[in-house]
Structure 1
Amino acid sequence: MHWYVDVLKKYAVFSGRARRQEYWMFTLISTVISIVVAIAEGVLGTNSVIGTVYVLAVLLPSLAVTVRRLHDTDRSGWWVLIGLIPVVGWIVLLVFTCLDSQPQPNKYGPSPKHVPPYPTYPTY
């Protein structure tokens, strides 16, 4: 769950890099929440108001984490626009987000795989 919250904390951060795990865990949790909201709306009959609010709330973080994921594969964030092309664009974007990250630092920053997410303190 911390992957989801970490992405929300970086609400509109388009710089830096995002690991595959961060991207896909956010996508998974967001999808599960969307399904639960859709089921709740079906039961309550709220005419998809809550779902629309949720989609609008996570639109910017979703876009930001996708751009950071593309940065991790050493691609410009502008590649996210290829997703606007039906089917072919979606497949290309899916492949790009599934690729492994560059282990060395690139122009978007150091590899998130090799940077500890939290400060480590010596144990005695």
Structure 2
Amino acid sequence: MDFKDAVRTCFNNYANFSGRAGRAEFWWWALFCLLGSAVLGAFSHKLSAVFSLATFVPYIAVAARRLHDTDRSGWLQLVGLIPLVGWLILIYWLVQESKSSSRWA
């Protein structure tokens, strides 16, 4: 999956919290959100904030699907609320390879 396909897929599944998302889909989406916020932030902080709000639900959805792909519950994103340690654990889970289980399919 390339950058364009990942962004299109995430916008098409913006509120789909079931199923699976591969590593490429998640990380291309994360890059899109980071770059979009940075570029718009250079022009206006309000534009950056609107962009971040517009991509918040799709980001949570693709992260939940990514965690499902590693055989974890999407609710484990809440671990990221723990400063530093939670972020590191969540990133570790998000970079892991896909599991072949059909638990979340």
TM, length-normalised to structure 2: 0.93
Identity in percent: 39
Q: Which residue of the partner structure matches residue 80 of structure 1?
A: 77
Counterpart among 10, 13, 19 of residue 13 in structure 2: 10
> How many residue pairs were aligned?
102
Counterpart among 16, 20, 28 of residue 23 in structure 2: 20
Greater shift, 87-96 or 50-59, is seen at: 50-59
- In structure 2, the gaps of 5 or more residues are none
Counterpart among 13, 26, 48 of residue 51 in structure 1: 48
Deviation at 1:35, TM superposition (A): 0.9
Greater than 6 Å deviation, 4+ residue runs: none
Are the aligned partners of 2:33 and 2:52 in contact in 1 as well (CA < 8 Å)? Answer: no
Tell me the C-alpha RMSD between the 2 structures: 0.8
Trace 1:1-124 onto structure 2 (pairs within 5 A): 1-41=4-44, 48-102=45-99, 104-109=100-105
- In structure 1, the gaps of 5 or more residues are 42-47, 110-124
Q: Which has the higher helix share?
A: 2
Deviation at 1:105, TM superposition (A): 3.5
